[in-house]
Amino acid sequence: MSEIFPYILDGLQIVILLFAAPVFAGWVKTLKCWFQGRTTAGVLQPYRDLTKLFHKDIVLAENASWVFRFTPYAVFGSVVLAGGIIPILSVDLPLSATADIIALISLFTIARFFTALAGMDIGTAFGGMGASREKTIASVAEPAMLMAIFTVSLVCKSTSLSQMVQVIAHGEFILRPSLAFALLAFALIALAETGRVPVDNPATHLELTMIHEGMILEYSGRHLALIEWAGMMKLFLFAALGIAAFFPWGIAAANDSPALFVAALSLILKLTVAGVGLVMIETGLAKMRFFRVPEFLGSAFLFATLGMLSYFMLE
Amino acid sequence: MSISLAAQINSILAALILLTAFGLLVQRRIYGLLHLFAWQGLFLSISTAVVGFVAEKHHLYISSLITLVLKVIVLPYILHVLIMRLKIHREIETVVNVPITMLIGIALVIFSYSLTSPIRELSTHVTKSTIAVALATVLLGLLMMITRRHAVTQIIGFLSMENGLFFAATSATYGMPLVVELGVGLDILIAAFIFGIFFFHINTAFDSLDVEQMARLKEED
């Protein structure tokens, strides 16, 4: 029983990811409505949207190739797999032992690569424009992301996420400037990677400014539902990754039910706070001009590099 | 507060000083620069007090207080008044290629880290790890003076270089004698006044504080 328990837990974590991600997305939307003085549709609205989309028929363009039909499943699959790697509730995960954080980032990259391909596959102008913009951002965001992650790995002497969580949560508590810089860089990159306000507007349908929306403009029915769901999960996973790498206190080290209960409670608490932080950033900032984005991500790269340097210089 | 905790706080403050130095390098708005400069002074002042506590050198408390008054309140106030009088407070300066400047800055940090490694080997002070940051702050201030065209921003670069030197003194030798620090503080204050007079003259002569204009100061061929 005790050998099979981690596998059950990994499965449980994926189920939590699947069903908590829309609630988290709904929480962010609700908060945003409160901040902007609008009435809300409730935390469960993303579920209704997804159900509606799953019941609709698919409209495919005549020249859509297999890439276009395959992409929603590739995106959804890679994001679900990422959910099995990130320690959300417990550190003792069989999948986490097989893949480290570099593999995790490449999973997200696969999802992004296929989305960009699908955007271009259909041959509309908006799809190509969105894909080109997405790749421009990715080419700057991904080195910065790796740099930030490497800083945390340097501190913890490992690239395995479970190991990193254990070192930070149970090691001696030290004020580390390197981790503070890495957190700052991670926050900036997470905004860019999940398509939030200073970089991309998740709610926009204005053709000139959309990036992620531009690529998925031609999707409908269950394809769109899968992509939207994957987008919500990506937001949830970036929040969970940030929590795991920088604020892991409370996560279950051993797989017994009291520890898991505490872990679930602290996860809910941290995600609630993360949502408030995200909405404060999104409400406080305006979307920046596209050509300013490389500068924004360049400063994220700078923070990550400074974090790595200050690990060598100051610690 | 234990010694190791104080050393950790000091390294956090060193990281913040480095961060503000980079912020000065890329900030476009003049008021933003002033605020960043004041923050740098504040971090420097707290760091000096922490070093004073660790090393049990009580004259460092006085120099921390001097830093607080001079670099967080008086100098930014003087520059603020100057900017208001010269009506340049709405100006947004073009900075030459921010990403390249940042990369040069990172290279300077690495350079100063390798340059100070012998000192770090020899030093027995708690603050030995922050010497590299202090030297990097000096070099970043110098870089700022080179890459900016506006006279006011060059002066802020100069003052941030002075911050770096002060930080180097506290982290390498637990601070200079109080007499020297008082003298330097007075010098900086006098320099700020002289800069102010210069600004007025440059501004009346060229109608701008862009030092590129000074290239016109030559005889006709």
CB contact under 8 A, B98 and A174: no
How many angstroms separate the CA atoms of B18 and B212, rounded?
29
Three-class SS of residue A37? Answer: coil
Is the pLDDT score of A130 beyond 70? yes
How many angstroms separate the CA atoms of A104 and A146, rounded?
11
The structure tokens 């802020």 sit at B156
Q: Which amino acid is at B200?
A: F
- Per CB-CB distance under 8 Å, the chain A contacts of B26 are 299
- Per CB-CB distance under 8 Å, the chain A contacts of B15 are 177, 180-181, 306, 310, 314
- Residue A60 and residue A69 in contact, taking contact as beta carbons nearer than 8 Å: yes
Question: Which of A174, A179, A312, A314 to substitute to test the interface with B, most B CBs within 10 Å?
Answer: A314
Strand partners, B29: B92
CB contact under 8 A, A314 and B15: yes
- Per CB-CB distance under 8 Å, the chain A contacts of B5 are 175
CB contact under 8 A, A312 and B113: yes
A107 Cβ contact list (under 8 Å, min separation 6): A78, A79, A81, A82, A85, A99
The structure tokens 């993360």 sit at A274
* Cβ-based contacts under 8 A for chains A and B: 58
Residues of B contacting chain A (CB within 8 angstroms): 5, 8-9, 11-12, 14-16, 18-19, 22, 26, 98-99, 102, 105-106, 109-110, 113, 129-130, 132-133
Q: In this predicted model, which residue has the larger pLDDT, A178 or A202?
A: A178
| The two three-digit tokens of residue A268, written as one number | 């809910």
pLDDT score, position B94:
67
Q: Which of B15, B99, B106 sits opposite A180 (nearest CB)?
A: B15
Is the pLDDT score of A1 beyond 70? no
CB contact under 8 A, B18 and A312: no
- Residue of chain A whose Cα is closest to the Cα of B102: A302
Min CA distance, B83 vs chain A (Å)? 27
| Alpha carbons within 13 A on the beta-carbon side of A37 | 0
- Dihedral class, residue A71 (left if φ above 0, else alpha if ψ from -120 to 50, else beta): alpha
Q: What percent of chain A has pLDDT over 90?
A: 39
Burial A228-251 (b: 16+ CB within 10 A, else e): bbbbbbbbbbbbbbbbbbbbbebb
Three-class SS of residue A152? Answer: helix
Q: Which of B15, B102, B105 sits opposite A310 (nearest CB)?
A: B15
- Residue of chain B whose Cα is closest to the Cα of A175: B8
Strand partners, B150: B210
The residue range of the domain holding A131 is 5-314
B77 Cβ contact list (under 8 Å, min separation 6): none
How many angstroms separate the CA atoms of A230 and A219, rounded?
14
Q: Which of A59, A65, A196, A175 is nearest to A122 (CA)?
A: A65
Min CA distance, B11 vs chain A (Å)? 6
- Per CB-CB distance under 8 Å, the chain B contacts of A315 are 11, 129
How many angstroms separate the CA atoms of A50 and B141, rounded?
54
- Per CB-CB distance under 8 Å, the chain B contacts of A305 are 106
Banded pLDDT at B102 (limits 50, 70, 90)? confident
How many angstroms separate the CA atoms of B37 and B30, rounded?
11
- Residue of chain A whose Cα is closest to the Cα of B104: A302
Is the pLDDT score of A13 beyond 60? yes
| The two three-digit tokens of residue B85, written as one number | 């009088």
- Residue A189 and residue A195 in contact, taking contact as beta carbons nearer than 8 Å: no
Range A133-141 average pLDDT:
90
Q: Which of B172, B211, B164, B186 is nearest to B25 (CA)?
A: B164
How many angstroms separate the CA atoms of A111 and A120, rounded?
15
| The two three-digit tokens of residue A135, written as one number | 């790749």
CB contact under 8 A, B133 and A175: no
How many angstroms separate the CA atoms of B61 and B50, rounded?
9
Range A151-173 average pLDDT:
85
Min CA distance, A224 vs chain B (Å)? 37
CB contact under 8 A, B18 and A306: yes
CB contact under 8 A, B18 and A315: no
How many angstroms separate the CA atoms of A312 and B104, rounded?
19
Is the pLDDT score of B15 beyond 80? yes
A165 Cβ contact list (under 8 Å, min separation 6): A87, A91, A244, A245, A248, A251
Is the pLDDT score of A229 beyond 90? yes
pLDDT score, position A187:
92
Q: Which of A175, A294, A305 sits opposite B106 (nearest CB)?
A: A305
- Residue of chain B whose Cα is closest to the Cα of A140: B99
CB contact under 8 A, A175 and B12: yes
| Alpha carbons within 13 A on the beta-carbon side of B100 | 4
Q: Which amino acid is at A63?
A: N
CB contact under 8 A, A299 and B102: yes
Number of domains in chain A: 1
**Packing angle, helices B3-26 and A177-193, rounded to 10:** 40
- Per CB-CB distance under 8 Å, the chain B contacts of A294 are 99
pLDDT score, position A2:
67
Q: Which of A18, A313, A3, A311 is nearest to A181 (CA)?
A: A311
Mean pLDDT for all residues in chain A: 88
CB contact under 8 A, A306 and B109: yes
3-state helix, strand, coil in chain B (%, to 5): 80, 0, 15
Can you give the pTM of this predicted structure? 0.88
Is the pLDDT score of A116 beyond 90? yes
3-state helix, strand, coil in chain A (%, to 5): 75, 0, 25
How many angstroms separate the CA atoms of A296 and A189, rounded?
9
B64 Cβ contact list (under 8 Å, min separation 6): B45, B46, B48, B49, B52
- Per CB-CB distance under 8 Å, the chain B contacts of A176 are 8
B162 Cβ contact list (under 8 Å, min separation 6): B141, B184, B188
Is the pLDDT score of B216 beyond 80? no
CB contact under 8 A, A175 and B8: yes
Range A108-131 average pLDDT:
90
Cα A304 off chain centre by: 18
Is the pLDDT score of A207 beyond 80? no
Range B189-215 average pLDDT:
81
Banded pLDDT at A224 (limits 50, 70, 90)? very high
- Residue of chain A whose Cα is closest to the Cα of B14: A314
| The two three-digit tokens of residue A27, written as one number | 């929480």
- Per CB-CB distance under 8 Å, the chain B contacts of A309 are 106, 109-110, 113
Q: Which helix (H) or strand (E) holds B187?
A: helix B178-206
Strand partners, A90: A252
